[in-house]
Amino acid sequence: MPNTALPATLHAIFMKTMMLLLGLFCSSALFAQTDEAAIRGLMAQQTAAWNRGDLEGFMQTYWKSDSLLFVGKSGPTRGWQATLDNYKRGYPDTAAMGQLNFNLLEFRRLSADHYFVVGKWMLQRTAGNLSGHFTLLLRRFGRDWKIVADHSS
């Protein structure tokens, strides 16, 4: 019967390659968990600012650029300042703002520096509760994640 065992050097190369691949897989999963935790923290920061009535603080989680895209019931808005202005018109005081809560439903890593997030938003207000869904595109800038596109309905 022929000997089908790999020679020792081939076996060692195979094992090193498998360990390297396993290490890359584990580190990729660890980065994904770390990124997801950072994005969850960003959403918690957003919620806290909203619930304090701080729209400027809420907007700190967005990309401060004229290229920011926000799509709401009135259609697309381009730019950080225009988005803030729309929020101020739509939510002129804390009674109109109510208390915000997010239910984050899905995270998809698109690349090392981009995430796609799907969730549900809920506002509890004395004037009547509101809720809807959102999709976010987030981009990493250095160590920070920012929302670069938001479609909320």
* Domains parsed from the chain with CATH numbers: 8-152 (3.10.450.50)
Identify which of 86, 40, 84 has the alpha carbon closest to the alpha carbon of residue 65.
Answer: 84
Tell me what the pLDDT averaged over the chain comes to: 88
Q: What are 41-100's pLDDT values in tens digits?
A: 999 999 999 999 999 999 999 999 999 999 999 999 999 999 999 999 999 999 999 999
Burial environment of residue 39 by CB neighbours within 10 A (0 to 12, 13 to 18, 19 or more): buried
Q: Cα 127 to chain center, whole Å?
A: 29
Q: From CA 89, how far away is CA 24, in angstroms rounded?
A: 48
Sign (positive/negative) of CA torsion 112, 113, 119, 122? Answer: positive
Residue 30 is predicted with a pLDDT of: 45
